[in-house]
Amino acid sequence: MASYISVPRDLSKVKTKVFMNLTRRQLLCFGAGALIGVPVFFLLKGTGNLSFSAMGMMVVMLPLFFLAMYEKDGQPLEVVAKHFYEARFKKPKIRIYQTQNYYALLQKQYDLEKEVERIVCKNQRSNSEAVRKEKEQ
């Protein structure tokens, strides 16, 4: 009887496990959650309500567990949150698509050249009229 082990085709998605089939990131987040959650439990235990202290500990530890486990499209939670923040709040909602109309630029250049020719011709005519008047005097 043969036993088969499934091997993923895309090896880039395989993450190295460090301890107890957890990645380094997961161990770090779970450890931080335990370091924060256990003291919170014992602080809230002094109120006398054990259920309240357990719920308080879970509420404090849950974001760190979520940070360790959540992944979307191969990106961890903080990267997804950063992209969400930038798209929602930091960057403008309406992005105006602007192009450079080269035909309009060519037309503007043509109009400027015509205006320069008109000014030059006007100056030449006024100069030739001034020369003509000097000759007449």
pLDDT over 90, % of the chain: 12
For 128, the token pair is 């030739």
| The model scores a pTM over 0.75 | no
Partners of 75 in beta bridges: 72
pLDDT tens digits, 77-130: 888 889 999 988 888 777 777 788 889 889 999 999 999 998 888 878 777 777
Look at residue 115 in the predicted model and tell me its pLDDT: 92
| Three-class secondary structure of residue 48 per DSSP | coil
Q: What band does 4 get if pLDDT is binned at 50, 70 and 90?
A: confident
Q: Vertex 39, ends 37 and 42: CA angle to 5°?
A: 110
